A and B are shown apart, each in its own frame.
Chain A
Amino acid sequence: MSEYLLEVKNVSKFFYGLKAIDALSMKVKKGQIYGIIGPNGAGKTTLFNCITGIYTPEEGQILWMGKEIKGTAPHKIAELGILRTFQTIRLFSEMSVAENIMSGRHIKSKQKWYNGIIHTPAYYKDERENWEKVGELMEFFKLSQYATTPAGDLSYGVQRKIEMARALAAEPELLILDEPAAGLNENETLELAHTIKEIQKMGVTIMMIEHDMEMVMSLTEYITVINFGAKISEGVPAFVQDDPIVIEAYIGIDDEDES
């Protein structure tokens, strides 16, 4: 097995001849919190979509524990242990919070094809275990009081938590967070940072795109900076922060005010 959990090697993705990602490479170690930053439209979310199988990059390799996963269907990627949240929240908004989180248990559930028609003792055991896990996650994210509330009726901050709970329910190896702090107030952001640390302690590797620089610099252990689809810098937060190329890329985009 490779020393790295995830390796992105010279990956390029085109949209109608336009290069959205340009020969991008990065290596994520197990247990890391890995940050990806860059101006809007730099291709960060496109990269996440390539890793999670929503897009298939035209060039390069994506290695998961040393094995090529480029071109694998999204649901197979999830089965491998790569789970994600979305920049624009994508919950099953008419369904209750508990049911939303239960979707994360899908790949862990051992129900057989005939359990959709008839229930067996093994089904009851499996169903009970999965709902219990949902209960634990609702407690961890302080969502228990909303168990039966439709997810779409809740505030932005709560919805972000539901998305994370849903992804964690699948017991991922790698959790991919796409702008988890977007739309959160200051208190919620602090709580989020704490939660991400807690998730790391569970042994989950985390990759995140984030515009909140304060949070990125304090949380992440390694950062890749992307601009116009290409990597312009990488390193530990302290290095990236002072890299003149990074500073130049961010001139005119005052992130402090924007977020």
Chain B
Amino acid sequence: MSNINFNKNSVMAIGVLLVMGIFPLFVDSAWLAIGTTFLVFAVVAFSQDIILGRAGVFHMGHAMFFGLGAYTTAVLNVHFGWPILATWAPAVLVPLVVALLLAGPIIHLRGDYLLVATIGFNIIFIQVLQNNIFGITGGPNGIFGIDVVRVFGVELFEQTHMYYMAFILLGITLFIMKNLDQSKFGRAMFYINKDDVAAQSMGISIRYYKLYAFALGAGIAGAAGSMFAVQYSAVSPEAFDVISSIMFFTIVLVGGSASLPGVLLGTFVMFVLPEVFREFETARYLVFGLAMILTMILRPRGIWPVKFGNIPAFLKKDVK
């Protein structure tokens, strides 16, 4: 057996990444912006999937962490004059710490109860932004005039620059997701998700791994938020409301919980397709809603469900 893993899936993955890599060469600036936002949303969807798809926590306030990252970059840059590069670390750390503080007291709640609690957090977050707390969030209008990224005196201001930055961010996210899935941390999340009583009896602390998922998911969402703020050079509350949280939640379920291709496909279906059919205006949402309902009936585990059994080759030698 060859050590190089040239199976169908890796060929397809390389193909998809290649298409995404050369995409900017063939499209106008409007599509480039859609492409960039797609990449950013995919990162947020993956981070939601750590919490929802892996740890199995019904978390419907993820846009809050996305927004916290975006506002951290916006506030530090516009009000305090930090260069964008310097805001990246805080844009990850602020949502991460907030996630731990907020999720800590509610993490023991089950399914629907926790879902309502996380929606509550998201609503409060939007209220705080709109009320221009400490005079730094800019109220309902948000914050304008966010700088571009400068590296060694070079200004990365073009849409193409934005696209490739988002592309690199997605690459880093996928790298982390792969590493997570092949570690005791990712596995512990799956065990808790599939049977929490059995997982506990194997010595797995439910609280620790659910909080781990929350912290990691919030941190990655924050990085995506920072990218989002830079792409539009502005942030405003409505991009991070409960409706956005519902979208990220739905992307994971429609695409396929814990499935990397599934969540990417889910983001494409839920975000890019509506843009493609823009000419049909609101009629597209009718079709769209129906498609969501049908997916859940016909493919309850998502369009591209997760496949388990990803074990080292030496254990497969006896498999018939």
A213 within 8 Å of B (CB atoms): no
B132 within 8 Å of A (CB atoms): no
Q: Which of B167-210 contact A (CB under 8 A)?
A: 176, 179-180, 182-188, 190-191, 194-195, 197-206
Whether A84 contacts B311 in the complex (CB less than 8 A), given A92-B195, A111-B185, A147-B319, comes out as no
Whether A111 contacts B202 in the complex (CB less than 8 A), given A92-B194, A98-B311, A117-B176, comes out as no
Binary contact track A74-96/B, C-beta < 8 Å → 1, others 0: 11101100011010001111111
Tell me the bound Cα distance from A103 to B183 in angstroms: 11
Whether A147 contacts B185 in the complex (CB less than 8 A), given A78-B201, A90-B198, comes out as no
Chain A residues, Cβ within 8 Å of B320: 145
Tell me the bound Cα distance from A123 to B203 in angstroms: 20
Q: Are B319 and A106 in contact (CB under 8 A)?
A: no
A259 within 8 Å of B (CB atoms): no
Q: Are B198 and A92 in contact (CB under 8 A)?
A: yes
Chain A residues, Cβ within 8 Å of B182: 119, 127
* Min CB gap A168→B, angstroms: 11
Q: Which of A75, A86, A96, A118 contacts B203 (CB 8 A)?
A: A75
Q: Which of A29-77 contact B (CB under 8 A)?
A: 52-54, 73-76
A135 within 8 Å of B (CB atoms): yes
Q: Which of A111-157 contact B (CB under 8 A)?
A: 111, 113, 115-119, 123, 127-128, 131, 134-135, 138, 144-150
Tell me what chain B mostly uses at the interface: helix, strand, loop, or mixed: helix
Q: Are A170 and B205 in contact (CB under 8 A)?
A: no
* Min CB gap B99→A, angstroms: 15
B153 within 8 Å of A (CB atoms): no
Tell me the bound Cα distance from A92 to B187 in angstroms: 11
Give the residue among B183, B198, B201 with the most A Cβ atoms within 10 A.
Answer: B201
A7 within 8 Å of B (CB atoms): no
B314 within 8 Å of A (CB atoms): yes
B110 within 8 Å of A (CB atoms): no
B312 within 8 Å of A (CB atoms): yes
Binary contact track B106-147/A, C-beta < 8 Å → 1, others 0: 000000000000000000000000000000000000000000
Tell me the bound Cα distance from A76 to B208 in angstroms: 12
Q: Which of A73, A135, A138 contacts B205 (CB 8 A)?
A: A73
Contacts A92-B194, A127-B183 aside, 5 further interface pairs with beta carbons under 8 A come to A54-B200, A75-B200, A103-B188, A103-B204, A106-B188
List B residues at the A interface (Cβ < 8 Å).
176, 179-180, 182-188, 190-191, 194-195, 197-206, 212, 216, 308-312, 314-320
Nearest 8 Cβ contacts at the A-B interface: A116-B185, A78-B203, A107-B203, A96-B309, A144-B318, A74-B200, A148-B309, A92-B194
